[in-house]
Amino acid sequence: MTTTPSRENYDFVVIGAGPAGLAAAATSAEAGLSTLLLDENIGPGGQVFRAIASTPVTAREQLGTDYWVGADLVQALRAGNTEVVQRATVWSLDRNLEIGVSIGGGSSFVKARRVILATGALERPFPIPGWTLPGVMTAGAAQTMLKSSALVPDGRTVIAGQGPLLWLLAAQILRLGGRIDRILDTTERGNYFAALPHAFAFLTSPYFAKGLALMREVRAKVQVVSGVAELAAVGDGQLASVSYVAGGKRETIPADLLLLHQGVVPNVNLAMAAGVEHRWNELQLCWSPVLDASGNSSIEGIAIAGDGAGIGGATAAVVRGRIAARAAVEALAPVAAAKLPPLATLRAELAKAERGRAFLDTLFRPSPQFRIPSGDTIVCRCEEVTAKDILDAVAIGATGPNQLKAYRRTGMGPCQGRLCGLTVTELMAQARAKSPQEIGYYRLRAPVKPITLAELAAVPKSEDDVKAVVRG
């Protein structure tokens, strides 16, 4: 493993070492192409296989057998000659396939002939009243602490939301001896009926048995409240209680920690900043890149695999990584591609891995009241802009997230809309009775992750700069 990229040019640069990125990098290295894998974490694995090479958790059953699949992927990658750089934050990518990457506080640029983005997913915003209070965090953040440091909550803990990750996290916390006082399930009752047409595919998918077992395991130990239709975090400067309505009845329970989760959405930040075309996905309620069957984006040379290409889960991500890499190998080295598994085989694997996805997407489609806030609920936490502020701006002419910047600083703070973007789009769409596709999204720009001025100032001068100085 290296600390900085050893060269300025690569055939292949893969961004993200989660399931899709690991598979893509292994595939291209297998084909003999010069391959660089850049990943922001301290070790490979992404979120699903986080800390796969270093986790202190040794009892395999505590994190579940799926987690350990990642170890095989890492092994395969290490067998090849892929250059892997961890703690490498890619902050820029453009249509010339030039990549700005920060490693250990220093930035450099590498150029690729093909780029595969495997930037994974982000948790969907969950903008309920009080969600910015200390003591409220996302389930994903809790899972990160659990996987990398075996830290589990020991105070009064409430988990609220829905989706497979919520149940998985609850099971993982309980197995590691953590405390959960109550689970508030926000799944809309109507979703069960809407999802019925997809139930057969789901029942015959690997998700079903696993999901059912997880839910049973959790329900045996924790009180689960279903049909939660309203939710608020309450406290003065610190979470004190969680207030909710279920079955028409309001309840308030004291809590030190509230973990929120209502599914994940593609992490599109880098792809959008590069200029890749995206469209609104009405089923998954998020932006997804426009891709062909091999994951190629609207920009020549950039392909996207894994959850960043549309939520599909870890198993599908691995196959999509292989498919995208295979297509790219075919473009650069057709002879080498012939030795890789045939596309038809991969496509069949993908179809199998995606079985049951439509059911999950429909069942766990979050309700509008948990996606689209109102009143004084904060939307943009960087600049403390509320839902009402945004609706007021719409009333006097703001038509979309970018236009909104003429009225409010929404999306102009340190996170540049990476946290509030979906909320702003959906809120404005609802207020203007338009589709999110019509409303649009923030124009994202590099740096996709902030870099310091000192770091940019220290970028090595290019040859042209040096020449310009010599010429005086």
Partner 1 sequence: MTKTVDAIVVGGGIHGCSTALHLCLAGLKPVLIEKDYAGRHASGVNAGGVRQLARNIPEIPLSIRSMVIWEKITELVDDDCSFESHGQVLVAENEDELAVCRARVAELNALGFTHEELIDAAELRRLVPAVADTCPGGVVSRRDGAANPAQTTTAFRRKAEQLGATVREGVAATNIRQSDGLWHVDVASESFAAPVLVNAAGAWAGKIAAALGEPVPVETVAPMLMITSRVPHFIDPVVILRGRKLSFKQFKNGTVLIGGGHLATPYQDRNETVLDWKRLAVSARTVFELFPVMRSATIVRAWAGIEAKMKDDLPVFGASSRHKGLYHQFGFSLHGFQLGPGAGAVMAELIVNGGTRTRVSDLGIDRFHPSTL
Our finding on whether 282 is near partner 1 (CB under 8 A) is no
From 403, 431, 432, 437, residue interacting with partner 1 (rule: CB under 8 A): 403
Residues 63 and 52: their CA atoms lie apart, in Å, by 11
Minimal distance, residue 7 CB to partner 1, in Å: 18
SS3 state at 218: helix
The answer to whether 379 and 413 have CB atoms below 8 angstroms apart is: no
Amino acid letter, residue 61:
E
User: How many residues does this entry show for the chain?
Assistant: 472
Minimal distance, residue 452 CB to partner 1, in Å: 5
Residue ranges in 91-110 that form contacts with partner 1 under rule CB under 8 A = 92, 94-96, 100, 109
The answer to whether 235 and 241 have CB atoms below 8 angstroms apart is: yes
Our finding on whether 425 is near partner 1 (CB under 8 A) is no
What token pair was written down for 277?
């075309």
Minimal distance, residue 100 CB to partner 1, in Å: 6
Minimal distance, residue 441 CB to partner 1, in Å: 14
Our finding on whether 459 is near partner 1 (CB under 8 A) is yes
95 vs 219, which CB is nearer to partner 1? 95
Minimal distance, residue 17 CB to partner 1, in Å: 24
* Contacts with 362 (C-beta within 8 Å, 6 or more apart), sequence order: 191, 194, 195, 198, 283
Residues 141 and 39: their CA atoms lie apart, in Å, by 18
Q: How far apart are the first and last CA of the chain?
A: 41
206 vs 447, which CB is nearer to partner 1? 447
Minimal distance, residue 24 CB to partner 1, in Å: 25
Residues 339 and 355: their CA atoms lie apart, in Å, by 28
209 vs 456, which CB is nearer to partner 1? 456
Q: Is the peptide bond before 341 cis (omega within 30 degrees of 0)?
A: no
199 vs 446, which CB is nearer to partner 1? 446
1 vs 406, which CB is nearer to partner 1? 406
Residues 239 and 244: their CA atoms lie apart, in Å, by 14
Q: Would you call 108 exposed, middle or buried from its count of C-beta atoms within 10 A (0-12, 13-18, 19+)?
A: middle
Our finding on whether 433 is near partner 1 (CB under 8 A) is no
What token pair was written down for 280?
């609104």
Our finding on whether 457 is near partner 1 (CB under 8 A) is yes
Minimal distance, residue 200 CB to partner 1, in Å: 44
Which residue bears the tokens 């700069």? Answer: 465
Residue ranges in 107-146 that form contacts with partner 1 under rule CB under 8 A = 109
From 212, 335, 456, 466, residue interacting with partner 1 (rule: CB under 8 A): 456
Our finding on whether 446 is near partner 1 (CB under 8 A) is yes
Residue ranges of the alpha helices (H) in 275-420?
314-332, 334-337, 343-353, 357-363, 368-371, 387-395, 401-404
Minimal distance, residue 440 CB to partner 1, in Å: 10
333 vs 412, which CB is nearer to partner 1? 412
Candidates 57-65, 196-204, 231-239, 453-461: pick the segment binding partner 1 (CB under 8 A): 453-461
191 vs 402, which CB is nearer to partner 1? 402
H-helix or E-strand containing 258? strand 257-262
Return the C-alpha torsion angle 422, 427, 428, 431, nearest 10.
160
Residue ranges in 75-94 that form contacts with partner 1 under rule CB under 8 A = 92, 94
Our finding on whether 396 is near partner 1 (CB under 8 A) is yes
SS3 state at 228: strand
Our finding on whether 454 is near partner 1 (CB under 8 A) is yes
From 134, 237, 334, 397, residue interacting with partner 1 (rule: CB under 8 A): 397
Residues 409 and 399: their CA atoms lie apart, in Å, by 15
From 144, 243, 374, 399, residue interacting with partner 1 (rule: CB under 8 A): 399
Our finding on whether 290 is near partner 1 (CB under 8 A) is no
Q: Site residues (CB under 8 A) for partner 1?
A: 92, 94-96, 100, 109, 275, 396-397, 399, 402-403, 405-407, 409, 412-414, 416, 445-447, 450-454, 456-457, 459, 461-462, 464-465
